[in-house]
Amino acid sequence: MKRTILSLFALAIAAPVLAQQAPPAAPPAQNNIEVPWNDAIPAGTAEHAARALKESPRHQEWVKIRMADGTDLNAFVVYPESAVKTGAVIVIHDIRGMSDIPRAAADQLAQDGFIGIVPDFLSGKGPNGGGTESLGAGVGQAIQAITNDDFDARFSAAVKYAKSIPSSNGKVASLGFCWGGTKSFLAAIQQPTLNASVIFYGDVPGFAAGPATYEPLMAKIHAPIIGFFGGSDARIGATIPDTTAAMKKLGKFYEPHTFEGAGHGFMGSQAGQGGANLKAAQQAWPLTLTFLRTHLK
């Protein structure tokens, strides 16, 4: 009995030591961080986007843009507080459709001196002629069904509207995320009067089909293009070298930036990748503003 008690006593003494030697708990699966509030860059979480829109002192409004076929394109517009006419930036949302994240990006653009316009490219695609809000779980399927011609009709209407705004200086850029990033590239191909194009983690249209398909498309580009990519986004990252080479071959302006450790969608998911997404967003936005200010002045 005494030997048993001594054994238990020895284990009790050893337990704290064993606990100290145990391996640390595994980090969260998403390796997320807490994102600090920062109104110098676009909102990087859904909560921050909602706050940015609610607290913005800038004029925000919903408008209906009449398209060539007589139907309406629903759009969210934010105006800068400016004494002079300014350029407009058409924000192209990602595959999830219209949401607070792209709307907050437009508000950030307005804070930085541009007219921000976010069309709902799913306008009229939902039940009873609704847009994103009416599609529910069908948003992804509906947005994948938008053809290049359909996109062009919608984007062209947005460009025409942007140029008609009395406080606009007549210059227009596109800026898109993910699906919208690829469409921002497409806008540069389809719109000969576009003044600049910003691409966040999108690839050149037709890339999968090879140079015989995408090079003739890229030859139509007139606008300078800047792109931002995550270093941990191999799916899109693998397209950058060939895209860069083709743009150089065709004499087009293309400036890609890749941020180490950042993932796909880093601007709207700043909590991810253990801080790499946030760092990428902080580095990409000043470059975006310099580019837009250069080409929309």
Distance, in Å, from the CA atom of 184 to the CA atom of 257, rounded to the nearest integer, reads 16
Region of residue 97 (phi > 0: left; psi between -120 and 50: alpha; otherwise: beta): left
What three-state secondary structure class fits 288?
helix
Nearest alpha-carbon partner for 222 in 200, 242, 251: 251
CATH code matching the domain that covers 41-296, chosen among 3.40.50.300, 3.40.640.10, 3.40.50.1820, 3.40.50.2300: 3.40.50.1820
For the chain, what is the radius of gyration of the CA atoms?
24
DSSP state of 126: S
Each domain of the chain, given as residue ranges in start order, spans 41-296
What tokens does 4 get? 């048993």
Q: Walk across the sheet containing 225-230 and list its strands.
A: 60-66, 72-78, 115-119, 86-92, 168-177, 196-200, 225-230, 254-259
DSSP state of 273: G
pLDDT by 10s per residue, the chain, length 297: 333 333 433 333 343 333 334 444 434 445 899 999 999 999 999 999 999 999 999 999 999 999 999 999 999 999 999 999 999 999 999 999 999 999 999 999 999 999 999 999 999 999 999 999 999 999 999 999 999 999 999 999 999 999 999 999 999 999 999 999 999 999 999 999 999 999 999 999 999 999 999 999 999 999 999 999 999 999 999 999 999 999 999 999 999 999 999 999 999 999 999 999 999 999 999 999 999 999 999
* pTM (predicted TM-score): 0.89
The answer to whether 33 and 271 have CB atoms below 8 angstroms apart is yes
Distance, in Å, from the CA atom of 227 to the CA atom of 238, rounded to the nearest integer, reads 14
